[in-house]
Amino acid sequence: MAGALQDHGRALVLGRTSYGKGSVQAVLTLDADHALKLTTARYFTPNGRSIQSDGIHPDVDIDDDDELLFAEALRQLKRG
């Protein structure tokens, strides 16, 4: 969702770079001791950016020192 909003210029993405898990795997059991892990899909943003290993990079990086300030700002926004 963040990648789509970012690609279309519909939101400012705040936070930290995401983990970068951009694929889907299926595990196929072969026998009692063996299985095959098969990649069945990959995630891309609408502009074709792969998030595999790289993640979604925020427009504004929020580090540990900024978290309390960010949490308070979010509370204020929710109050209206």
Q: What is the pLDDT along the chain (80 residues), one digit of tens a residue?
A: 999 999 999 999 988 899 999 999 999 999 999 999 999 999 999 999 999 999 999 998 887 777 787 787 788 888 86
Q: Report the C-alpha gap between 15 and 63 in whole angstroms.
A: 8
Say what the pLDDT of residue 50 is: 95
Say what the pLDDT of residue 61 is: 85
Residue 61's domain spans which residues? 2-79
* Reported pTM: 0.67
Tokens of 50: 């792969």
Write the DSSP assignment of 8-49 as a string of letters.
TT----EE-------EEEEEEEEETTEEEEEEEEE-B-TT--
Beta strands 60-61 and 14-15 are parallel
Q: Report the C-alpha gap between 10 and 33 in whole angstroms.
A: 49
Domain count of the chain?
1
